[in-house]
Structure 1
Amino acid sequence: MKSIGSESGQTLVLVVMITLLILLLSFSTLTLVSECRKASFVEKTMVQAYYIADAGVERALAKVKSDNDWLWNEVHFDSDREVEFILNQNYAGGVITRVTVKEESIYPAVPLSREDVAYTNILIISEGTCENSRKSLEVRARVNAPLHFARGVWVNSPDSEFGNGNAGAVTVPPFPALDLSMYEKNYDVKYIGNKTISGDFQVNGIVYVAGDVTISGNYRGVGAIVAGGNVYVSGDLKRYHDDQASSLAILCFGSGGITIADGKEVWALLYTPPGGPSDVRVVNIGSAAIVHGSIICDKIIINPAANALVQYEKSLSDNQPDWTTTNISVTSWQEPSPLLLNKRSIF
């Protein structure tokens, strides 16, 4: 027969063991929760560091798109090294530690001047940090050069008709071929269908018209009108009050090209891309019409019935920003291996 004291002792031992087990489980749970929180925090800072590095890449891409002079003068002439673009810049709770841009190749390989460059292949390395987390990105991209309107008249087709006009032609391969898709995705204002623009109007950035454009009037501002269809200049097209700071580029992707009515005066930069054998994009300048600016086109026709004039206007070319006609295509986007990161950190 067991005594009451013996049973009480056994119960006490059991209670103590259960209590210790509960305490042990509680401690383990707290430790697990703490570790999960720590892991979650590290994961969050790693993701943030990646986005910070990504922001560094985007800023570098924006720089080369908007500043072709910098790409040529700084990156090209220092093509044997990585040109530092950003160093220790605070961003989104972290730091864009370092962003460099390096020219890997250029076409043609030995350009005589900046205007001869068709495209540049670049390498961007961007590092971002958040707390103790660090991410690095290596991005390769092809930067197609902006249109060099300073050439005056640049014609792709050898069978252009100049008649008795006072224009000259320069054919320099490779002829620049802009892609309409870059404007279908990137624009400031968009119009579906055909569009008539007349009177006094403001231009600011890129205006994309999916169809044909009929245009005349007086413009103020800087930017480009991009037509997916044809362009007809029905009347005089001038800068408002001859504002020297204003510049308008007309980029026409329609198969019929750009037509300027007889006797009209145009102050603008005109472009048509190269077409196929049966799809030649023409700039057709009517009798006694005058174009002040620059023309880059697949084919040009100047009516021989009466003198027409194409006169280069430097202020229009100088004030047209590079980014309106610069196209960048990313060819690779990756995180370098930890081994490469450690090697780079040594120097």
Structure 2
Amino acid sequence: MNKKVVIGMSGGVDSSVAAYLLKRQGYDVIGITMKLTPDDAFYNEKEGGCCSISAVEDARRVAYKLDIPFYVMNFTEVFKDKVIDYFIDDYLKGRTPNPCIACNKHIKFDALLKKAQSLGADYVATGHYCKILKENGRFVIRRSIDDKKDQTYVMYNMTQYQLEHTLMPCGDYEKEHIREIAKEIGLNVFNKRDSEEICFIPDDDHGGFIKRQCPNDIKEGNFVDKQGKFIGKHKGIVYYTIGQRKGLGIAAGKRIFVTDIKADKNEIVLGDEKDIFKSELITKDNNFIPFDRLEEPMEVEAKIRYNAKVSKAVISPMEDGRVKIKFEIPQRAITIGQSAVFYKGDLLVGGGIIDEIQGV
């Protein structure tokens, strides 16, 4: 009997070709599009987004073309609880969260995996560009062949159990090859653009989204310099992030940047570009892939956001379970709420949520 796999289908080219590759490999494939957003009238207003009506129909057409079963399943409640509410709460605390990391942790590789297993499936699959391998008796994640599309950064929370029951066939291909396969087998999504916006904020205005959800929590406050001197008024801390220069509305006569967000005082600290370079940080909620826990200092390459380049660093365990990271070269705009992720070559070591910034 063939192994059964449930694949999350977004209507994009990656998950569509992943479904085809799995079927070609002999799996019994079931396509599922997850309904994640609770208000279609707002969230689906931008056609082509991964939560839009057109995305569901694209996925349905691909499933029909591949001759696989297809279902739309409701995950709105858990998505709101674990992703949307978390996203809003973090911004209100002056942090800058990454909702894709929360979605992978709680939705794709937890809620969807459990749903897949309830349907009798052996695996869950996605169109992510990562490679899952078993080495020395342990599952590991290695970077995709296509370095530009690699998505290992958002995978550091995966457990050994989840890795054992997850397939990511696109990790062995370059993006252009994936598009070529889609075209060759007659999938209309072969040239569909990649979705880059936050899926539940199709207009890309996260501040406006948060204000619509909780208007009474967004208050004007003060821009101050690093000595606490008043510079001007800001429209609400949720509109700003560390390193931001544009959209401040301040005529300072020089380039100024957001260097700190003090949610307790409702203040945004502005300063020079040199003020946003730091060399040390502390992460919480850490997870490691090749081993269970960090026991001693370890030399790694680390990155502080999805699109950042890796840089040499030393990670060290702390008594409270957090991890201290010291970079060889100071990093630009380290941001609380984002994730620091660690590598050894193409091996994903692990990562955690940036909780504190230190160093010069």
TM range (shorter): under 0.3
Q: TM-score, with normalisation over the residues of structure 1?
A: 0.23
The structure with the greater share of residues assigned to strand is 1
Q: TM-score, with normalisation over the residues of structure 2? A: 0.22
